Structure 1
């Protein structure tokens, strides 16, 4: 036997549409059920973007995001340092910016490609 979903906008069979009234009715019939805070009832009516903004505004989310960003930046800098070690420069310990490292890497790869073609 297959059940069909209720058509959109249809009222529940017991005739109540308000979430708080429904929770009160369920509590009266089922005893003391834990109720969700009133704030969660209002969150359910928010759009996906509004929910995302609220979630991102929490201190816990911001802290976790900052930690992930620090780990990403450290990994990025380590990758540049490894690339820098592979590139020939004079003097060898010369400090290069990230863009200079990338440009030097492009030139060095072009040079090696030219050497292999000859």
Structure 2
């Protein structure tokens, strides 16, 4: 149903007092399922489905179990790679004792200090 400026408001569905008729009108117009082919018709009738925005399509795709599982797998691989890089950096830094456990922020701060020290040694 399209709104027409020349159509009186009393003809519009929300002017009706029968709520079942009103709901049926909206269900048929907005959310109806594809019609079954009639005898001898051979084809289904087209149905108007609301178009989804790009963001809504992305949100629906990300809500699937398959997508979440794949995303979790990618995240695990990323974290493992990230931790491996920190352990490699940790092996290059001098500390006493050498096997001392350092947090990631401590590793980064120590790396900055060590690089600064090496630059100073090269300049002298």
The TM-score range, normalised by the shorter chain, is 0.5 to 0.7
Q: Which residue of 2 aligns with 1:97?
A: 103
Listed as ranges, the gaps of 5+ residues in structure 2 are 1-33
Could you report, residue by residue, the CA deviation over 1:76-98 in whole angstroms, capped at 9, with x for unpaired residues?
Answer: 00000000000000000000000
Could you report, residue by residue, the CA deviation over 1:2-55 in whole angstroms, capped at 9, with x for unpaired residues?
Answer: xxxxxxxxxxxxxxxxxx68xx6xxx5xx57xx8xx8xx74x710000000000
Is 1:106 the counterpart of 2:109 in the alignment? no
Listed as ranges, the gaps of 5+ residues in structure 1 are 1-19
Q: Which residue of 2 aligns with 1:48?
A: 54
Q: Report the aligned-residue RMSD.
A: 2.6
| CA distance, structure 2, for counterparts of residue 79 and residue 47 of structure 1 | 39
> Which one of 59, 62, 68 corresponds to residue 62 of structure 1?
68
**How many matched pairs?**
87
| CA distance, structure 1, for counterparts of residue 114 and residue 53 of structure 2 | 51
Task: Give the TM-score of the pair, scaled to structure 2.
Answer: 0.63
Show the 5 A alignment for 1:1-118: 28=41, 42=49, 45-118=51-124
Task: Give the TM-score of the pair, scaled to structure 1.
Answer: 0.66
Question: Runs in 1 of length 4+ with deviation above 2 angstroms?
Answer: none
